[in-house]
Amino acid sequence: MGKLTTHTEELHPKNPYLQDLLSAEGALSDGTWKVKAIPNGKGPTPLTTATTPKPLIPTESIRVWSDFLRVHLHPRSICVIQKYNHDGEAGLLEAFGQGESVLKEPRYLEELDDRLHFFVEECDYLQGFQILCDLHDGFSGVGAKATELLQDEYSGRGIITWGLLPGPYSLQQEPQKNIYRLLNTAFGLVHLSAQSSLVCPLSLGGSLGLRPDPPVNFPHLRYDASLPFHCSAILATALDTVTVPYRLHSSPVSMVQLADMLTFSGRKVVTAGAAIPFPLVPSQSLPDALAQLGGTTPWTPLSACGDMCGTRCFAQSVVLRGLDRACHTSHLTPGTPLPSLLHACTTGEEVLAQYFQQQQPRVRSSSHLLLTPCRVLPPYPRLFSSSLSQQGLIQDDPPTGAAVESIPVLGTLSSSASLNQTLGDLAKELTKLDLRRWASFMDAGVEQGDLEELLQDLHSLAQCYQGGDSLMD
């Protein structure tokens, strides 16, 4: 026998934020868990204390999404693309064609197929698939190829795709990265919309084109748009809310039904919005809060598609969560004149339906009311102003200093006429490019004919949203 050689590699040290997070959850420095005995003999549980843990704040050492991931992923849910690295100048997954070619390789295709079948076989009822992928880099191509494969193998199931875009801070880059971002986004939207039941871009002040949208403003949040940790928390809050209709056992709406309601007439791209938190004073009822808004839109756009105020909406799905049942309806003293028709409604669902009927009478609307609030305990970042109570309500009296533990959230998905201009402007920016200057993008697997077809598809997609810009048209 030959000599046995052992190669060892030191474990990469956890960054300080992850160490604090594990400590707060009851883990010792070596990764084991502190436990305490239960008198009834049911076994150990993680140790808890009555003291309030110090706020967990991400440090500069955080580089990738997994650095602040709290969920422990199933080992078979991970498929690592070994040929590209996350950082550095070599091996970046930066072009649509690169990403698309990854899932054409037998190695990755078989690995993805194996992992997918493992989880599909565990499902009692498979509604469909949700895909989250970057639109601005090579993962746009990975997502497009993945949706194509899912459509081929699971035809009839829902495929809802969330395309993630960086914030405005990333637009201050060298021209090549901006042009790549533009091309990747355009290819991603066209290919994903062709294979998905629904596609929704998500961003905090980013842009589908080269010019950034105005900064996204939430009156009661204090966040830094340059920190992915902050942005991901806000977008995850909106995503968790708008997907409620098809995730609850009690909901009669399936993934496919929601997509069909929003994307009729070929309008596969939709926009998202949210009110985080939904503005409510403890003494108010839901009819009071909605009537106080007047004709203003109660949510902030989150899809990098410009200001949609005043533009026509074709269809929308609205979810309001986290309001106590007692404040769903008005409780005026008998004989008091009703301030609005909303105050005459007998359920919270009726209040929402009446409000959107008043504001947008020609819009196909679906509304859902959920009692469960959005929990914002650590590792959720401390983004909230001192004007909020522990339950996320706007305080009338001076702040108590208690940390916010949960918030009410309103989220919406809508098919809007604003996408006509947004997609049309994206096509115009592409026509201005001298593609001969961007040969490196073409070398990644895209040909001249593909770009010409892309422009035609973008124009066709934009035309689906024609029909007037005003709600009164």
Locate all alpha helices (DSSP H) within 265-386, ordered by sequence: 286-293, 348-359
What's the confidence (pLDDT) of residue 213?
A: 63
Tell me what percent of the residues of the chain surpass a pLDDT of 90. Answer: 48
pLDDT bucket at 56, cuts 50 / 70 / 90? low
331: number of Cβ within 10 Å: 9
* Strand bridging mode 313-321 / 409-416: antiparallel
More confident residue, 86 or 144: 144
Q: 390 lies in a domain?
A: yes
pLDDT bucket at 273, cuts 50 / 70 / 90? very high
Nearest of 181, 146, 182, 173 to residue 161 by alpha carbon? 146
220: number of Cβ within 10 Å: 19
Burial 408-444 (b: 16+ CB within 10 A, else e): bbbbbbbbbbbbbebbbbbbebbeeeeeeebeebbeb
Q: In this structure, which amino acid lies at residue 20? A: D
* Strand bridging mode 313-321 / 300-301: unpaired
* Alpha-carbon span 341 to 227, nearest angstrom: 43
What's the confidence (pLDDT) of residue 229?
A: 82
- Mean pLDDT over 83-106 rounds to 80
Q: Residue 33's beta-bridge partner residues?
A: 27
How do residues 184-203 score in pLDDT, each as one tens digit?
A: 999 999 999 999 999 999 99
Say yes or no to pLDDT of 32 above 50.
no
- Mean pLDDT over 75-83 rounds to 85
* Strand bridging mode 364-370 / 313-321: parallel
Q: 196 lies in a domain?
A: no
8 CB contacts (<8 Å, ≥6 apart)?
none
More confident residue, 439 or 114: 114
pLDDT bucket at 296, cuts 50 / 70 / 90? confident
Instruction: Give the HSE-up count for residue 235: Cα atoms under 13 Å, Cβ half-sphere.
Output: 26
* Alpha-carbon span 435 to 190, nearest angstrom: 19
Q: 447 lies in a domain?
A: no
- Mean pLDDT over 389-412 rounds to 87
Nearest of 378, 373, 380, 377 to residue 411 by alpha carbon? 373
Cβ 404 vs Cβ 390: under 8 Å: yes
Q: 127 φ, ψ to 5°?
A: -75, -45
How do residues 113-129 score in pLDDT, each as one tens digit?
A: 999 999 999 988 899 99
- Tell me the pLDDT of the chain averaged across its residues: 82
**Class of residue 89 by CB neighbours under 10 A (exposed 0-12, middle 13-18, buried 19+):** exposed
Question: Which domain, by its residues, includes 361?
Answer: 271-418
- Mean pLDDT over 23-28 rounds to 49
Q: Considering its fold, how many domains does the chain have in total?
A: 1
Q: 262 lies in a domain?
A: no
What's the confidence (pLDDT) of residue 308?
A: 64
SS3 158: strand
pLDDT bucket at 409, cuts 50 / 70 / 90? very high
Q: 169 lies in a domain?
A: no
Q: Residue 321's beta-bridge partner residues?
A: 370, 409
The answer to which of 50-59, 61-70, 76-85, 447-456 has the lowest mean pLDDT is 50-59
What's the confidence (pLDDT) of residue 304?
A: 83
Predicted TM-score of the model (pTM): 0.85
Q: How far is CA 275 from the centre of its chain?
A: 14
- Mean pLDDT over 167-192 rounds to 81
Say yes or no to pLDDT of 461 above 60.
yes
pLDDT bucket at 64, cuts 50 / 70 / 90? low
What's the confidence (pLDDT) of residue 3?
A: 75
What's the confidence (pLDDT) of residue 404?
A: 93
- Mean pLDDT over 255-280 rounds to 94
The answer to which of 8-17, 85-94, 266-275 has the lowest mean pLDDT is 8-17
Q: 250 lies in a domain?
A: no
What's the confidence (pLDDT) of residue 194?
A: 95
Say yes or no to pLDDT of 360 above 80.
yes
Cβ 161 vs Cβ 192: under 8 Å: yes
* Alpha-carbon span 462 to 459, nearest angstrom: 5
Q: 202 lies in a domain?
A: no
Give residue for tokens 């004919």: 449
* Alpha-carbon span 93 to 104, nearest angstrom: 15
The four Cα atoms 115, 120, 122, 127 give a dihedral, to 10 degrees, of: 140
Locate all alpha helices (DSSP H) within 243-297, ordered by sequence: 244-247, 255-262, 286-293
Q: 23 lies in a domain?
A: no
Say yes or no to pLDDT of 210 above 90.
no
pLDDT bucket at 68, cuts 50 / 70 / 90? low
What's the confidence (pLDDT) of residue 153?
A: 93
Tell me what percent of the residues of the chain surpass a pLDDT of 70. Answer: 78
Cβ 315 vs Cβ 260: under 8 Å: no
What's the confidence (pLDDT) of residue 174?
A: 64
Q: How far is CA 219 from CA 276, 290, 309, 380, 388, in A?
A: 9, 17, 17, 18, 11
Q: In this structure, which amino acid lies at residue 26? A: G
pLDDT bucket at 20, cuts 50 / 70 / 90? low
